[in-house]
Chain A
Amino acid sequence: MTKRNKTHIVSYKVYLITLVGLIALTLISVGVTYIQLANLTIFTALLLASIKSTLVLIYFMHLKFDNRILQILVAAVFILIALVILITFLDYNFR
């Protein structure tokens, strides 16, 4: 059998640890809203959401164990989305 056909089996434990981490981050992001951070509120909320989505992508969506092409593609799409959002906001800010 070629190596390509051997899919890595992720253990239940990895998923459980990821889940615990995700729930903890959710509770932290809720807790943070009770602290007055003024302008940092949006930044912290989006930062925590980004960390959570990265965990989902890497472990739940199996990217850690997928082939290189897929990893590069997904990263490229997220960079594209980030750029589109950034450019739109730059446009709105300096109009």
Chain B
Amino acid sequence: MNNIATHTHRDDEASKLGMWLFIFTELLLFAGLFIVYGVYRYLNPIAFHLAAEELSTTVGTINTIILLISSATIAMASTAIRLKNKQLTLLLLITTLFLAFMFMVNKYFEWKGKFGHGIFPGSEDLQKLGHGDTLFYGLYFFMTGLHALHIIVGFILITIVCVKVNNNSLNINNTVLLDNSGLYWHLVDLIWIFLFPLFYLIT
């Protein structure tokens, strides 16, 4: 009798399903934005091509790898807690938090560089560049910005999980919050997997 039935009214399977339903709404939200991007790219191919070349592939690649590793570490945390290894769970979660922070640091410098060149939503320099560039950078700032917002939310969520693991209220009998936070974090990773080629690679 390893997993003794605690008689609390809880349905982990339903919690997970609920999390997935939320993920579906998020996927549809970003899918809508991808359509907007696709249609505008189709209508302004040359401007999108030139504007995309201004983005640093190196920074994009580093951030992609950072997010992939952080996804792996939080997935491993789900395994670690099931193997009753609290120290390792915490270590993996803190690594995930650190990587999320590094992602945001890179994003900060990337955006700062763009702002320094006078490129930000509504800037005069951008309007001089023309309609296509305005659209490209508008979508770039909106989509990466919305994604960064999800990173911040994930950061807060994982911090809460860390605290709960530390005070033992999240343990092997009750892993659903960790699992769902993991699912959310993988969603953030999933969205970035598509943002990366669309903005940094296709030039």
Which residue numbers of A lie inside 8 Å of B, CB to CB? Answer: 1, 4-7, 9-12, 15-16, 18-19, 22-23, 26-27, 29-30, 33, 41-42, 45-46, 48-49, 52-53, 56-57, 59-62, 66-67, 69-70, 73-74, 77-78, 81, 84-85, 88-89, 92
Say whether B61 contacts A15, CB under 8 Å: no
Q: Is the CB of B3 within 8 A of A12?
A: no
Residues of B within 8 A of A (CB): 1, 3, 5, 13, 16-17, 20, 24, 27-28, 31, 34-35, 38-39, 42, 57, 61, 64-65, 68-69, 71-72, 75-76, 78-79, 82-83, 179, 182-183, 186, 189-190, 193-194, 196-198, 201-203
Cβ-defined contact, B203 with A70, below 8 A: no
In the assembled complex, the Cα of A52 lies from the Cα of B189 at a distance in Å of 10
Q: Given A84-B35, A85-B35, A92-B42, are A33 and B201 also a contact pair (CB < 8 Å)?
A: yes
What residues of A have a CB within 8 angstroms of the CB of B71 in the complex? 19, 56, 60
Contact indicator A84/B68 (Cβ below 8 Å): no
Contact A42 B82 (CB under 8 A): no
The answer to whether B31 and A81 touch across the interface, beta carbons within 8 angstroms, is: yes
- Distance between Cα atoms of A41 and B17 in the complex (Å): 37
